[in-house]
Structure 1
Amino acid sequence: MMEAAEIPFLSVFQLSELIKSRQVSPVEVVEGYLDRIDRLNDRLYAYLTVCRDQAVEAARQSERELAQGEYRGPLHGVPVAVKDQLNTAGIRTTCGTPIFNDVVPDADATVIAKLKAAGAILLGKLNMTEFGTTSLSHAFDTARNPWDLERFTGGSSSGSGGATAAFLCATSLGEDTGGSVRGPAAWCGLVGLRPTWGRVSRYGLRPGMWSMDTIGPLSRTVEDCALTLQAIAGHDPNDAYTWDVPVPDYRAALDANLAGKRVGVVKELLYADVVEPEVRDAVSQSVQVLAELGAQVEEVSIPLTRHANTISSVLRVEAPTNYRELIRERLQEIEHDNRIAYLTWSLTPALAYYKALKLRALLRQEVLAALDHADVLVMPTMGTAAPKIEPDPIIDSKAATNRNRAGLTTSFSLASSPALSICCGFTSENLPIGLQIGGKPFAEQTILNVAYAYQQATDWHGRRPPI
């Protein structure tokens, strides 16, 4: 019999096989995770709300269904957690701000409903930066990185990164606007996928930036990421911007054969000034692994990627439009960095926004043109490993500049294309490094296959954080 303390260290796939064969029960699984949350969350600050009673009852129901031969699929009985930006019926949804401490939605977001329909069990709601529109500053306690408790997890899906990396849930959901799934994945040593804009319903998601927000999974393996995406993808009548296109069986289609696959290395991002030498070396070595696995590798140029963060920063005028009433009536309750940012973005001239939209269209054309000659594009996810939680990025302008420029994720957000981060090594301080793999719209399967081949050929994902 498996020890309860060992259950959280299983992958989703391993766990699902044991649950399906009734070698472990969903109740045992949930209790194992809740015990670990009890022991570690006060050091990690990954969860804002733990749904203890609801999770235990859901586990009992899951067990009853198994006894009756009602198996829902590979997520049946698997404990998951979600960023507190997603509405959950009867459970508070703060969006990372005490202003919404008493907000309790009446209905689940579509992705929550889909997870439940797939048999997953919700453990709780995860920490995040306020409103999801800043990458590091928290209105609640700052989420801590399990690889080093003095460092950031990345944002804005900070708790999703910390909880998944520390084995406080089997898999999780985050939300990626400019890189808020991929950034935490890189800094926490995970697999994090931003799907194509419109692949996953945003109904019930509290908005950050309407034109870029995307819900995606953070998992410990590519296989687990595929299983999680499978559960949440698809057209939703409640979200007019979801595409009515077929959803593949992502896990069943995983293929480690890279023979003939064309991999383009984006030189503007690999050799960017913000990419530290250890990161560049790790990414270069990972590209070599892909070549040894049979991929055809060549450098490509996408000039406008150098300016992606600048373009995105102008487009963030969209963010304060979601909270105009709060800005007018409760401004001092908004955290300092968001307060300044929202006021600044509110003053952005329409001509600047219009120019940024045109530049976005040009960048998207460049990205898609590069993908005409490559199956995937690769580059670092973040130019640095996770920084320490110091000092205040608003007070220390140099710290703010370095942190804000560290992300190399925005190009795919602007292009509305899918992209994934996977761990490709560690720094000399034992901090994870992320390789980013991007592809054509709705080419999630291609990205997952390249990542799967890489993960099968390496053992970075097998390391456990010291916590």
Structure 2
Amino acid sequence: MTFTCAAHETRVHYASLLEVAAKLRARELTPVELTETLLARIDQVDPVLRSYATVTADVALAQARNAEAELAAGRYRGPLHGVPIAVKDLCFTAGIVTAAGTTIRSRHVPTYDATVVQRLSQAGAVLIGKLQLTESAFAEHHPSVTPPRNPWNPEYWSGASSSGSGVAVAAGLAFGSLGTDTGGSIRYPSAANGITGIKPTWGRVSRHGVFALAASLDHVGPMARSAQDAAAILGAIAGADPHDPTAAAIPVPDYLAGLGAPIGPVRIGVDRAYNETRVDQATIGMLDDVIAVLRRLGATIVEVTLPDTSTINAMWSRYAGVEAAIAHQATYPSRASEYGPADTPGSIAGLITHGHTVSAVELMHAHHQRLAFTGGLARTLCDVDVLLAPVQPTTSLTLAQKEAVYSDPEALTDFLRFVTPFNMAGAPTITLPGGFGEDDMPLGFQFVGRPFEEQLLIQLGHAYQRETDWHLRHPAL
């Protein structure tokens, strides 16, 4: 199925969410046709890519038929109405298995929907399936799980932990997805698969019904093929929730409003020492190209110095370990044999084991460092509107390179230095495709903003994507 959009013929599975939304609202395309097309593509492509843990065909078709009837009756719920969306398989779904990338929960069938799933349903979205992830959303997949394969090249890493979420969107198997990010888990798969991901401010999106990795570090957010598509999803899922007291009672803006307007005198902070130390030349070159585009858009580039990130990056594993131990206290160590081996680099069992070794004094020291970094970041963002930074210090990793990083604690800590500080601070980020490396694999970068200023990140991301076409490129599948 193809249709004309943006002055060219596009295969519908690679069209943007908002493009198909317009077709659905104009009744030039029906939700059932769209859902059947994606289900057929999943049947064709995903046996190799393995992005889905569960395909919910019956649920999706029933929701599509309901959306079709509502649209025919003139009841329009918004831009997600009738659009197939998939969610990471740690978001509870009533009556549908939610395994969280584990075997220990392979028969876990929730009796209720996570708040984010409920809100997608209220927006009229079609739940097309549950997406594969690493074990309990940490670094490595359970040994019994075949990791999702990067659709650009199966010899390359697909990212962690929202691996299936990144692969499905990039491969045209969903028009958007939900991921979670505790230490880069929206940003890494977005960069690796050439898509857009938003890690909202901690508290912007409810975590109720989303299995925790580390509660105070976990962020739930959208992954899509463009900033405006991700904005449409974020607008549906954000906001206060009586079931989650940490979900902020702050009004949710219309994230799609004003996206066509000039960005105005935005100040972009760049810490060149942070961005370029022990960073490969391809990544530095990409950032230089991004800066050139931003200047053409009228942005001002301001040299800044971030507060020290090395200490807070090193402290992240203490927080993550202790909080993971809390999340798994009902099953670990009592059912440790059902987890991946604790001595495997990147295993959730290894992280939990580490968490049990952290003393109260060490944890409180990490907390003080966290407070200091969060305050220092806030001061930096008084002088600029957003920060520009890489997602990772190297271009796309091959699977062999990923294993080498995981196996070396110092290399892994170094690899995490562009992501974990902004989980510790709870800051919002948007990850955008910024080019391709010599290996023809996607490169990504991120903007970091002030708390609850996702709208500015979206506006800036959309402006960048009006000037570039990296987000319009798709793997040849």
Instruction: Name 1:146's counterpart in structure 2.
Output: 151
Residue from 294, 301, 307 that aligns with 1:303: 307
Instruction: Name 2:108's counterpart in structure 1.
Output: 103
Residue from 80, 103, 119 that aligns with 1:114: 119
Distance of 1:230 and 1:395 partners within structure 2: 36
Does the CA contact (< 8 Å) of 1:253 and 1:445 recur in 2? Answer: no
Does the CA contact (< 8 Å) of 2:168 and 2:174 recur in 1? Answer: yes
Does the CA contact (< 8 Å) of 1:135 and 1:154 recur in 2? Answer: no
Residue from 333, 349, 352 that aligns with 2:362: 352
Instruction: Name 2:267's counterpart in structure 1.
Output: 262
Does the CA contact (< 8 Å) of 2:314 and 2:413 recur in 1? Answer: no
Q: Deviations over 1:195-241 (max 9, x none)?
A: 01111111101011111111000010111011010110111111111
User: What does 1:290-369 correspond to in 2, within 5 Å?
Assistant: 290-316=294-320, 317-336=322-341, 337-369=347-379
User: What does 1:388-407 correspond to in 2, within 5 Å?
Assistant: 388-390=398-400, 393=403, 397-398=407-408, 401-407=410-416
Q: Deviations over 1:333-355 (max 9, x none)?
A: 11122222211221112111111
What SS class does the counterpart of residue 425 from structure 1 fall into?
strand
Distance of 1:39 and 1:402 partners within structure 2: 38
Report the alpha carbon displacement of residue 59 of structure 1 after superposing the two structures with TM. 0.9
Distance of 1:154 and 1:66 partners within structure 2: 37
Does the CA contact (< 8 Å) of 2:157 and 2:402 recur in 1? Answer: no
What SS class does the counterpart of residue 157 from structure 2 fall into?
coil
User: What does 1:47-62 correspond to in 2, within 5 Å?
Assistant: 47-62=52-67
Consecutive unaligned residues of structure 2, counting only runs of 5 or more, are: 4-8, 342-346
Does the CA contact (< 8 Å) of 2:135 and 2:141 recur in 1? Answer: no
CA spacing shift, 1:19–1:443, aligned 2, 3 Å: same
Q: Deviations over 1:109-133 (max 9, x none)?
A: 0010100110100000001010112
Distance of 1:135 and 1:361 partners within structure 2: 29
Distance of 1:395 and 1:278 partners within structure 2: 19
Residue from 30, 33, 45 that aligns with 2:35: 30
Superposition RMSD in Å = 1.9
Does the CA contact (< 8 Å) of 2:89 and 2:133 recur in 1? Answer: yes
Query: Which residue type is aligned with residue 297 of structure 1?
Result: I
Query: Which residue type is aligned with residue 127 of structure 2?
Result: L
CA spacing shift, 1:42–1:190, aligned 2, 3 Å: same
Residue from 213, 216, 225 that aligns with 2:218: 213
User: What does 1:216-231 correspond to in 2, within 5 Å?
Assistant: 216-231=221-236
Residue from 269, 285, 297 that aligns with 1:281: 285
Does the CA contact (< 8 Å) of 2:324 and 2:351 recur in 1? Answer: no
Distance of 1:268 and 1:330 partners within structure 2: 45
Q: Deviations over 1:126-154 (max 9, x none)?
A: 01010112266665111111111111111
What SS class does the counterpart of residue 368 from structure 1 fall into?
helix
Report the alpha carbon displacement of residue 397 of structure 1 after superposing the two structures with TM. 2.6
What SS class does the counterpart of residue 370 from structure 2 fall into?
helix
Consecutive unaligned residues of structure 1, counting only runs of 5 or more, are: none
Distance of 1:395 and 1:452 partners within structure 2: 33
Q: Deviations over 1:52-83 (max 9, x none)?
A: 11111111111111222221111110000000
Instruction: Name 2:385's counterpart in structure 1.
Output: 375
- In the superposition, the TM-score normalised over structure 1's length comes to 0.96
Does the CA contact (< 8 Å) of 2:283 and 2:443 recur in 1? Answer: yes
CA spacing shift, 1:133–1:111, aligned 2, 3 Å: same
Does the CA contact (< 8 Å) of 2:204 and 2:239 recur in 1? Answer: yes
Query: Which residue type is aligned with residue 111 of structure 1?
Result: V
What SS class does the counterpart of residue 412 from structure 1 fall into?
helix
Distance of 1:394 and 1:351 partners within structure 2: 32
Query: Which residue type is aligned with residue 415 of structure 2?
Result: A
Instruction: Name 1:187's counterpart in structure 2.
Output: 192
Instruction: Name 2:258's counterpart in structure 1.
Output: 253
Distance of 1:395 and 1:425 partners within structure 2: 23
Instruction: Name 2:344's counterpart in structure 1.
Output: none
Report the alpha carbon displacement of residue 392 of structure 1 after superposing the two structures with TM. 8.2
Distance of 2:256 and 2:413 partners within structure 1: 34
Instruction: Name 1:430's counterpart in structure 2.
Output: 440
Distance of 1:201 and 1:401 partners within structure 2: 34
Does the CA contact (< 8 Å) of 2:113 and 2:209 recur in 1? Answer: yes
Distance of 2:311 and 2:435 partners within structure 1: 27
Residue from 448, 454, 462 that aligns with 2:458: 448
CA spacing shift, 1:223–1:76, aligned 2, 3 Å: same
Report the alpha carbon displacement of residue 276 of structure 1 after superposing the two structures with TM. 1.4
What SS class does the counterpart of residue 298 from structure 1 fall into?
strand
The question of 1:94 aligning with 2:104 is answered: no
Does the CA contact (< 8 Å) of 2:101 and 2:142 recur in 1? Answer: no
Residue from 387, 392, 403 that aligns with 2:397: 387
Instruction: Name 1:46's counterpart in structure 2.
Output: 51
Q: Deviations over 1:144-169 (max 9, x none)?
A: 11111111111111100000011100
> Percent identical across equivalent pairs?
38
